[in-house]
Structure 1
Amino acid sequence: MKLALQTVASAVFGFAFFGIALFVPAGTIDYWQASVFIAVFAVSTFIPTIYLAITDPAALQRRLRAGPTAETRPAERIIMTAIVTLVVAILVLSALDHRFGWSQVPLWLTVVGDVLVAVGLTAAQGVVIANRFAGASITVESGQQLVTSGPYALVRHPMYSSVLLMMVGMPVALDSFWGLVLVPPALLLLAARIRDEERLLADELPGYRAYSRQVRYRLIPRLW
């Protein structure tokens, strides 16, 4: 029951967050790109969330423990605060761009943006299904085992790859090119988080050093 209430509360907070971050700076609720984006976000997270609630409640519980306050390492609290701030800035800047018409995104590219958001969100949930210890905060738990199959055979941090894909799709899905200027700083923050996380994993997760030699790329295959 407690997990169900947490899940519902998280969903309600998500709708309120997107509503405030998008429709307020847009100055109108007549912003169909934002409405479609929120719908895509809801659908892409609802089905995997229900699946996890039924098959692996502990994994879902880890996903719900998110944000700067969930981090145990001071450096990660700072990084996560900056990442959350940038995500909010992307949403607000995209809504302002739509409001004042600073850029014009064609319909087909808006659709592509929504597809990227859906794929990124679905892939992120798939990572949790592949690795039940993939939480939203950086920890190594008792009994945690190294996962090297599935998406982890391609990159060492598929969760962050999924997040990056979603962030690239967000601005164009919201009718903005200007929102894309905040994606590179977000990528740098993800890289900093990955570097710090890998130091922890190398020290505390058995087999991670050998795995990192086997799978060379951290975030993007063939690049980094």
Structure 2
Amino acid sequence: MQETPQDGDRQRLDAAGITVVVGTFFGAFIEGVPLFAAAGTLALPRAWFFLVLSFVAMLGQIILVARQDPELVNHRGRWKKKRDAKRWDKPLVIAFGLLGFYVVPIVIGLDVGRYRWSSLGTWWLALGTALYVFGTVLITWAMLVNTHFETVVRIQTDRNHLVVTDGPYRFIRHPGYVGAGLWILAAPLIVGSACGLIPVVLVAVTIVVRTRLEDRTLRRELPGYADYAARVPYRLLPRIW
């Protein structure tokens, strides 16, 4: 017999969930530290715009999700304690975090503030903003319809793990990764750093690797996923992959 979440876990945030909300609140500032430190100056209006956009988007997202599904936020906050997480996954989570939220901002800062290797005009700012907003909408939508949107890859037998086919999952199988990738891609476009796109390629590699491994795991271990994959053939990009 499968265990079901406790009523309290569904209805309110616990300490782990509160940690997620607080971490999200400070997330944009954490990104700003390596960026401005590498730049050697605070006089970067586009960088400030990016940080404000990130703050508003990320905080708005977590508030929406926490109001609708506090259980999910609680479980996302316990990701380090998930002993049934796939062994290959936590290193990929850490690599994504380091590359996306430290390496990319550092390269951007070195580029636009200290050495000025490259620049991108205001058209790129508009494009980056649109991509960031779209990525936020996509991730938020996925989290609102998928209570199993945890931080690490595992078969959630303790939470009656089911295949989700609603929302963005009608079009691609891993919309959260697309949204996260758009977040990272948008950063150098908004701030104006062509060189910042170089480490974004490494982020994309981690996303593709994790998507492939997760998809293989779900096909093998989650009942109904193989049939879902047959109906929705694309992992990340419609008509491509």
TM-score (norm. length: structure 1):
0.90
Contact 1:110 1:174 in 2 (8 A): yes
Stretches of structure 1 that go unaligned for 5 or more consecutive residues are none
Contact 1:121 1:162 in 2 (8 A): yes
Equivalence for 1:83: 96
Equivalence for 1:43: 56
Superposed CA RMSD? 2.1
TM-score (norm. length: structure 2):
0.84
* Aligned residue among 31, 46, 59 for 1:18: 31
* Aligned residue among 12, 18, 32 for 2:45: 32
Q: Which stretch shows the higher mean deviation, 214-223 or 184-193?
A: 184-193
Matches of 1:62 and 1:34, distance apart in 2:
32
Matches of 1:183 and 1:69, distance apart in 2:
29
Q: Deviations over 1:134-177 (max 9, x none)?
A: 11211221311111122111111011111122222111112101
Question: How far off its partner does 1:11 sit?
Answer: 3.1
Equivalence for 2:125: 110
Matched to 2:72, the amino acid is A
Secondary structure in structure 2 of the residue aligned to 1:74: coil
Matched to 2:223, the amino acid is P
Matched to 1:98, the amino acid is V
Equivalent residues in 2 for 1:77-156, closer than 5 Å = 77-87=90-100, 88-99=102-113, 100-142=115-157, 143-156=160-173
Matched to 2:24, the amino acid is A
Matched to 1:44, the amino acid is A
Percent identity, aligned pairs only, is 28
Structure 1 runs, 4 residues or longer, greater than 4 Å off? 68-71
Aligned residues: 223
Question: How far off its partner does 1:65 sit?
Answer: 4.5
Matches of 1:9 and 1:152, distance apart in 2:
28
Q: Which stretch shows the higher mean deviation, 95-104 or 116-125?
A: 116-125
Question: How far off its partner does 1:33 sit?
Answer: 1.4
Find out whether 1:205 has 2:222 as its counterpart: yes
